[in-house]
A and B are shown apart, each in its own frame.
Chain A
Amino acid sequence: MKKSGKILSFLALAGFLFYGCQNNAGQKATTTPIGNGDAASQVYVPPGEHDEFYAFLSGGFSGQVTVYGLPSGRLFKIIPVFSQDAEKAWGYNEETKPMLETSFGFIPWDDAHHPELSQTNGVPDGRWLFINGNNTPRVARIDLGTFETTEILEIPNSGGNHSSPFTTENSEYIVAGTRFSVPYPQTDVAINSYKENFKGALSFIKADEPGSMDVSFQILVPGYDYDLAHSGKGKSHGWTFFTSYNTEESHTLKEVNASQNDKDFIAAINWKKAEEYIAAGNFKEMPARYAHNYYNEETHMATSEMKENVKVLIPSECPGLIYYLPTPKSPHGVDVDPTGSYIVGAGKLSADITVHSFDKMIAAIESQAFDGEIDGIPVLKFDAVVEGAVQSGGLGPLHTEFDGNGYAYTTFFISSEVVKWKIGTWEVVDRVPCYYSVGHLMIPGGDSKKPWGKYLVAMNKITKDRYLPTGPELAHSAQLYDISGDKMKLILDFPTMGEPHYAQGIAADVIKDRSKKIYPLEENHHPHATLKEDQVRVERNGNEVHIYMTCIRSHFAPDNIEGVKVGDKVYLHVTNLEQDWDTPHGVSIMGANTSELLIMPGQTETLLWEPKFEGVIPFYCTDFCSALHQEMQGYIRVSAADANTELSWSLGE
């Protein structure tokens, strides 16, 4: 592929030179947004070949995560996270229903914003992907061996989890900052008592071990809106930075009332210091109620437990824990460069990008260069911490990522463009338009110590005329830029699912060889698994009927069942006995008030069916599994509630 790419670009170049010699008009091509190269060959991945990068995009209001290949922009998978997904029985089968439990009960939806790859030594390691639920505050872990969600933790005493789940250098913690300050703990108070009663909580979540995700501690902060975050790296490892807006602490007409202050704050948290305070017992135990849901890959089953109490640190009682860095106007993104030296604040209502220096921040703390304090939080002098400002010429900077070669790339929502600038001189070196109104951007590894600085994906909020129209609702549009040269080049448009707010990318090699092919049957410890065809059976327990079924190309065992009655709760525990890659089987039952099951090789899933009428009900395999897939079906006889049809089951009799 590489070779043919080279030949193609050589031909393109040769053609251009030839044409250019004859006619100066040929140069016109260089000024179009897609540059002078052969963009198609740059994004062309020939049939059967693999993409160079995985890209994980959040689904926003779809509640899910989508997996794309770069540079092709091909969609590979939608991973269900916070929203029920009938295609995969996520939140419909008995095994995954507990994943969507919260302190408010079962919630079939959330707003998924920021995917974040786990890191080792500040570099994405391909173990997990985390993502936040913004509405009912939650964070989730996706296992990148199976590309399945395996853990969801609710965040207590929080209102909207937006500044999340950004990781520390070794995924010691992921964080969660409240977007809406709320009474802490929740109580019934007048909304206009905001200034007295509303607080923010910044949560640090221990996430380095699957199955034991927990809120390690929260820091109680003034009632601002906390927007985004990033942790330090290298020299700034041990610190996490949160942007805030609404430092006016207004509670109504925020578009005006939260936009008055000239500067808001970036909160700098010394989380190593926080660990010391926790170890010394210098915390308050606060009442809380929050769910922790874990999908155990060995039992193929999720459990949900409710947690109570959370450890809270109060800044006024914990000197050195938190400082405020004044930053112009309602900063959105806070991004730390690959060396960990610079903290870039994108003031979304301003034209400029503010760059703070970590070294200056430490010096300012040591020399106590404070401009007063708020609720025990010292406010550092702006001039003492700021290192530079990027005079962008654009408007509405949102988010910055890095290419690892000394350059930074910032999206500008209002002026709808990506601006490339040089770290150190703060000068703008290039800019390209986005179609239209870009939100966040992503460079694979672009928020880590070692970016793969080859491509940039811009996630646009407005689509308009980019694709064939599909009625009032349009797919959001992403755009791929080649950033390997001096000038950014637009090389591809591709539609996305839901509303991607943020994305992560990683070299395919880090993940692809570890991707699981099957669930080994000998590791299947599902309590209702049937590991051999001769163990299939049907058991009745009062009005509960448990059908222990297996499937393998191309039959269910048993496929004839009698003795089920109207009013029964019928649990179909189906184990897929296949041990071959890409051989799922599905199961669906006529009239069942739920989704199908889609069972991976070696997995067990359970469908709950409550038959309402007498009759003989067909069921069948929904995933085209083999030449005899269409024959993969069976019948369940449903008798009257008071009938005495004997419980029986068979296959091939």
Chain B
Amino acid sequence: MKQLPRLFMLLAVLLTMQLFLFPMWSITLVAPQYPDGITMFIWIDRITGDTEYTLQNINILNHYVGMKYIEPDSIPELQYFKYVVLAISLLGMGALIANRKYLYLSWFILVALLGALGIYDFYLWEYDYGHNLSETAPIKIPGMVYQPPLIGTKMLLNFEATSLPATGGWLFGTGLMLSLVAFLTYPKTSRR
């Protein structure tokens, strides 16, 4: 019983580290001629698809309306996100070893802030891809922007775009909440 907060924190750290194993976010495009949809997965350090060639296929579709090519190598976040995840995992470990109530809360607040920043950053990228269209695009529709939804579903011309956390994202969110549970279940008497 005494060790319960620690156990929650351990889970929180493990659920953070799984981000190295599972994608954080997914964007799925469905259209009549793509009955199975095309799904793009965003990881902490790369972008993949449901097939090896998803990115090429999305880029081909995007070029008709003048969207920029998605080139993972040119996205700086994909270079340093892994260090951020590593750092917060280590901080979480530290809190776990120290087993202090307010370290758990601090970690929760820090990671929640970073998470919110991450989502804001993702929004900015989406905004940029959706709004900054090539002057020479073959298909130009006045007033049309192609920004996918931050979360949820939206029609972009003939494509229904759905943006949702992927396995890694859900697990990470769960971990974050568990760190809060660690704080809340911390026994009032057992102060060290």
Q: Which residues of A contact B (CB under 8 A)?
A: 518, 520, 552-554, 578-580, 626-628, 631
**Chain B CB within 10 A, most for which of A554, A578, A579:** A579
The answer on a CB contact under 8 Å between B60 and A552 is: yes
Check A628–B64 contact: CB distance below 8 A.
yes
Among A520, A554, A579, A631, contact of B57 (Cβ-Cβ < 8 Å): A579
Q: Nearest Cβ distance between residue B61 and chain A, in whole angstroms?
A: 9
Residues on B with C-beta less than 8 A from A631 are 138
- On whether the beta carbons of B52 and A579 are closer than 8 Å, the reply is yes
Kindly state whether residue B174 has any CB partner on chain A within 8 Å.
no
A580:B64 contact, CB within 8 angstroms: no
Q: Are B138 and A628 in contact (CB under 8 A)?
A: yes
A579 to B139: give the CA distance in the assembly, Å: 23
User: Chain B's nearest CB lies how many Å from the CB of A161?
Assistant: 42
State whether A580 touches B57 (Cβ < 8 A): yes
Q: In the docked arrangement, what's the CA distance between A170 and B57, Å?
A: 41
B56 touches A627 (CB 8 A): no
- Could you say which residues of chain B place their CB within 8 Å of the CB of A554? 138
B53 to A580, Cβ gap below 8 A? Answer: yes
Cβ of A520: which chain B residues have Cβ within 8 Å of it?
A: 52
Nearest chain B CB to A501 CB, angstrom units? 37
CB closest chain-B residue, reference A579: B53
- Which one of A518, A553, A627, A628 lies within 8 Å of B53 (CB-CB)? A518
Name the distance in Å between B139's Cβ and chain A's nearest Cβ.
7
With A520-B52, A627-B139 known, 11 other A-B pairs at CB within 8 A are: A518-B53, A552-B60, A553-B60, A554-B138, A579-B52, A579-B53, A579-B56, A580-B53, A580-B56, A628-B138, A631-B138
Check A627–B60 contact: CB distance below 8 A.
no
- Distance between B2 CB and nearest chain A CB, rounded to angstroms: 54
**8 Å CB interface, B34-76 against A:** 51-53, 56-57, 60, 64
List residues of chain B with CB within 8 A of the CB of A628: 64, 138
Q: How far is the CB of A542 from chain B (nearest CB, A)?
A: 37
A442 and B51 CA atoms in complex are apart in Å by 38
Interchain Cβ contacts under 8 Å between A and B, 13 examples: A520-B52, A552-B60, A554-B138, A578-B60, A579-B51, A579-B53, A579-B56, A579-B57, A580-B57, A626-B64, A628-B64, A628-B138, A631-B138
> How near does chain B come to A304, taking the closest CB pair, in angstroms?
33
Question: Which residues in window 107-137 of B have CB below 8 A to A?
Answer: none
Secondary structure type dominating chain A contacts: loop
Considering only CB atoms, which chain A residue lies closest to B51 in the complex? A579
Find chain A residues with CB under 8 A from B56 CB. Answer: 579-580
A631 vs B139: C-alpha distance when bound (angstroms): 13
Q: Which of B52, B53, B56, B64 has the most CB of A within 10 A?
A: B53
Chain A residues near B64 (CB-CB < 8 A): 626-628
A265 to chain B, nearest CB (A): 56
Contacts of A580 in B (CB 8 A): 53, 56-57, 60
Contacts of A552 in B (CB 8 A): 60
Query: Complex formed: what's the CA distance from A22 to B51 in Å?
Result: 62
Report B-chain residues with C-beta under 8 Å of the C-beta of A626: 64
Separation of A553 and B64 alpha carbons in the complex (Å):
9
**6 closest cross-chain pairs (CB), A and B:** A579-B53, A580-B57, A553-B60, A628-B138, A579-B56, A627-B64
* Complex Cα–Cα for A222 and B53 (A): 59
Docked Cα-Cα span, A484 to B57, in Å, equals: 46
Most B Cβ at <10 Å: residue of A553, A554, A580, A626: A580
A554 to B64, CA, bound (A): 9
* Chain A residues with CB below 8 A from B53, complex form: 518, 579-580
The interface centre, meaning the residue of B51, B60, B138 with most chain A CB atoms within 10 A of its CB, is: B60
How far, in angstroms, from A518 to B54 measured CA to CA in the complex? 13
Q: How far is the CB of B37 from chain A (nearest CB, A)?
A: 13
- How many Å lie between the Cα of A580 and that of B53 in the bound state? 7
- Whole-angstrom distance between the Cβ of A633 and the nearest chain B Cβ: 14
Hey, which chain B residues are within 8 Å of A553, CB to CB? 60
Q: How far is the CB of A46 from chain B (nearest CB, A)?
A: 15
A580→B52 CA distance, assembly (Å): 10
Chain A min CB distance to B143 (Å): 20
CB distance from B141 to the nearest CB of A (A): 13
For the complex, what is the distance from the CA of A121 to the CA of B28, rounded to whole Å?
A: 43
Rounded to whole Å, the gap between the CB of B69 and the closest CB of chain A is: 12
Complex Cα spacing A580 to B61, Å: 11
Q: In the complex, A579→B51 CA distance in Å?
A: 10
Residues of A within 8 A of B52 (CB): 520, 579
Contacts of B51 in A (CB 8 A): 579
CB distance from B29 to the nearest CB of A (A): 12
- Inter-chain contacts of B139 with A (CB < 8 A): 627
CB proximity of A446 to chain B, nearest CB, Å: 34
Q: Please indicate the chain A residues that have their CB under 8 angstroms from the CB of B57 in the complex.
A: 579-580
CA A552 – CA B60 in complex, angstroms? 8
Expressed in whole angstroms, the minimum distance between the Cβ of B28 and any Cβ of chain A is 16
Closest chain-B Cβ to A60's Cβ sits at a distance in Å of: 36
Write the nearest CB–CB distance from A414 to chain B, whole angstroms: 49
**Smallest CB–CB gap between B45 and chain A, Å?**
22
Taken together as a complex, chains A and B put the C-alpha atoms of A579 and B56 apart, in Å, by 8
Give Cα distance in the complex from A381 to B60, angstroms: 72
B137-181 interface with A by 8 A CB criterion: 138-139
| Minimal beta-carbon separation of A352 from chain B (angstroms) | 54
What is the bound-complex CA distance between A578 and B53, given in angstroms? 9
Closest to A48 in B: B35
CB distance from B10 to the nearest CB of A (A): 42
Give the residue name and chain of the A residue nearest to B57 (CB): A580
Min CB distance A631 to B, Å, is 8
Give, as a whole number of angstroms, the nearest-CB distance from A245 to chain B.
Answer: 53
Q: Chain B residue with minimal CB distance to A652?
A: B136
Q: How far, in angstroms, from A70 to B139 measured CA to CA in the complex?
A: 42
Question: When chains A and B are docked, how far (Å) is the Cα of A553 from the Cα of B139?
Answer: 14
Chain A residue at minimum C-beta to C-beta distance from B56: A579
Bound: A518/B138 CA distance, A: 27
Complexed CA–CA distance, A579 and B57 (Å): 7
A631 vs B53: C-alpha distance in the bound complex, in angstroms? 24
For the complex, what is the distance from the CA of A570 to the CA of B94, rounded to whole Å?
70
- For the complex, what is the distance from the CA of A505 to the CA of B27, rounded to whole Å? 41
Measured between C-beta atoms, what is the minimum distance from B127 to chain A in Å? 26
**What separation, in Å, do the CA atoms of A208 and B53 have in the docked complex?**
33
Chain B residues whose CB sits within 8 angstroms of the CB of A579 once the complex forms: 51-53, 56-57
Bound-state CA distance A580–B57 (Å) is 7
Chain B positions within 8 Å of A627 at CB level: 64, 138-139
What separation, in Å, do the CA atoms of A518 and B159 have in the docked complex? Answer: 23
The docked-state distance in angstroms from the alpha carbon of A299 to that of B57 is: 24
